[in-house]
Amino acid sequence: QSVGGFTVNQDRLMNDLHRTCKWGTGKRWGSLDTETGMSRLSLSDSDKKARDWFVETTMALGCSVTIDEMGNVFAIRPGRNVGPPTCVGSHLDTQPSGGRYDGILGVLAGVEMLRILNERDARTHFPVGVVNWTNEEGARFPISMVSSGVWAGEVPVETAHGLREVRGGTVTMRSELERIGYLGSVPASHTSMPMAAHFELHIEQGPILENHKQKIGIVTGVQAYRWYTVQLTGRDAHTGTTPFDARADAMLAACRMIACSHDLAAKHSALASTGILTLTPGSVNTIPGQVKFSLDIRATSDATLETLEAELKAEFSRLASKDVTKGLDVSVTWQTDTISPAVDFHPSCIETVRASALSVTGDTSLFREMVSGAGHDSVYTSRHCPTSMIFVPCRNGVSHNPEEFAKAEDCATGADVLMQSVLRFDHL
């Protein structure tokens, strides 16, 4: 049976999604199926509006709000006893053309949990909290989950503060935190903001739950991933006068490398993707001398990524050499932007989520254990406190796309399992 018989208010939860999603969409959210996607990049003006709403709303619900030096926002509701809070967390920042559930649902489900606890005048043993982690997506600033990474002691705060935008430019994370008023004075650290546990509700962002007609994913861990920026330097030259054997064509080399990365990854049952590609000078009749592209590789184990990385580096050098280009050498340099190791979540939290899923759905066929294909802030919280995640299905498994959609009743079921997990953990 569910702890306290508490269930979330589905309409209110979805209204919060409507309301907060107007910050970052071109127009007010109409029907769920047709609205434009979200573009609420971290520390942007629209992110500030969503953050301000989160701070005001949780303070009005009786929480103390702490903002740390990475702009992570901790809204803590007191319990009967003093101690580290059992937290739910996720992120309000989105992809440049993303969906309206990724991250957002997890934070708003936390707000709804606070509302229910207040309405039922329930006082938990220990404090409970809701956390908004800064720049989870890594879309604006190039290290994803960077702020939970600082909190976990895995990313130096100076490195995070110094990050410049993926798109180039002079602003840094620090200058943007300052500009929007979220450069907190509290160190971003698990020692200054300890947590008893961290649960994260998130859409699955893949097709497994929907394909199996299931409602809840009990997330047992997260696969490993690494992000690189690969820079190729050839030589600008005239497209009409330069024979193939006199070219150092960085673009041709890049095409071969990107195709090769998919083949090598597939050989290791891994994934490889290029989402950003820039070149100069960008003229029809000039062979590009400079190309920069992103490389995102994913696999269930770190060892596989180690092997794949070494093979990719060797192959890219070969593909850039004149033996293959039949022209002049192209130089290759690698920059590692993100290393997110594979993690296994804590058995105690996995058990708690499973018991909660049963108490909410009453039917073991409606949920399954699974590993997350996407990275989440829970990767880093699991370094310092018991952590697990709850997935809900999303239509066609599509995410990082304006078509991202999750049914209201599935969001509510996930929010109930999240709330139950917190209450169960608090009672442990």
Amino acid code (one letter) for 222: V
Write the DSSP string, 63-89. Answer: -EEEEBTT--EEEEE--SS-SPPEEEE
One residue of 138, 217, 393, 414 binding ligand HGY per CB under 6 A: 138
| Residue 251 or 276 with smaller CB distance to ligand HGY | 276
Q: Is 374 in the site for Mn ion (CB under 5 A)?
A: yes
Q: Is 376 in the site for Mn ion (CB under 5 A)?
A: yes
Examine residue 194 and say whether the peptide bond preceding it is cis (omega within 30 degrees of 0).
Answer: no
Q: Is 354 in the site for Mn ion (CB under 5 A)?
A: no
Q: Is 337 in the site for ligand HGY (CB under 6 A)?
A: no
Question: Is the separation of the CB atoms in 65 and 127 below 8 Å?
Answer: no
Question: Is the separation of the CB atoms in 352 and 272 below 8 Å?
Answer: no
CA–CA dist 340, 298 (Å, integer):
9
- What is the DSSP secondary structure assignment for residue 165, as one 8-state letter? P
CB of 314 to ligand HGY, least distance (A): 26
Amino acid code (one letter) for 268: H
Task: Report CA 422 to chain centroid distance, whole Å.
Answer: 21
Paired strand residues for 98: 38
CB of 123 to ligand HGY, least distance (A): 35
One residue of 47, 68, 69, 137 binding ligand HGY per CB under 6 A: 137
| Residue 103 contact partner, candidates ligand HGY, Mn ion, none, CB within 5 to 8 A by sort of partner | Mn ion
CA–CA dist 407, 248 (Å, integer):
52
| Residue 20 or 144 with smaller CB distance to ligand HGY | 144
| Residue 293 or 425 with smaller CB distance to ligand HGY | 293
| Residue 16 contact partner, candidates ligand HGY, Mn ion, none, CB within 5 to 8 A by sort of partner | none
One residue of 2, 46, 132, 144 binding ligand HGY per CB under 6 A: 144
Over the range 200-210, which residues count as b (16 or more CB within 10 Å of their CB) and which as e? Answer: bbbbbbbebbb
| Residue 100 contact partner, candidates Mn ion, ligand HGY, none, CB within 5 to 8 A by sort of partner | none
Q: Is 299 in the site for ligand HGY (CB under 6 A)?
A: no
Task: Report CA 270 to chain centroid distance, whole Å.
Answer: 19
Q: Which of the stretches 6-14, 134-142, 185-193, 403-411 binds ligand HGY when contact is defined by CB under 6 A?
A: 134-142
CB of 154 to Mn ion, least distance (A): 16
Choose among 276, 237, 238: nearest CA to 254.
276
CA–CA dist 89, 47 (Å, integer):
16
Q: Which of the stretches 71-79, 136-144, 238-246, 380-388 binds ligand HGY when contact is defined by CB under 6 A?
A: 136-144
Quick note: the x/- pattern for ligand HGY over 212-251, rule CB under 6 A, is ----------------------------------------
List, in sequence order, every beta strand (DSSP E) within 307-360.
331-340, 343-344
Contact residues: Mn ion, CB under 5 A: 102-103, 374-376
Contact residues: ligand HGY, CB under 6 A: 136-138, 144-145, 374-375
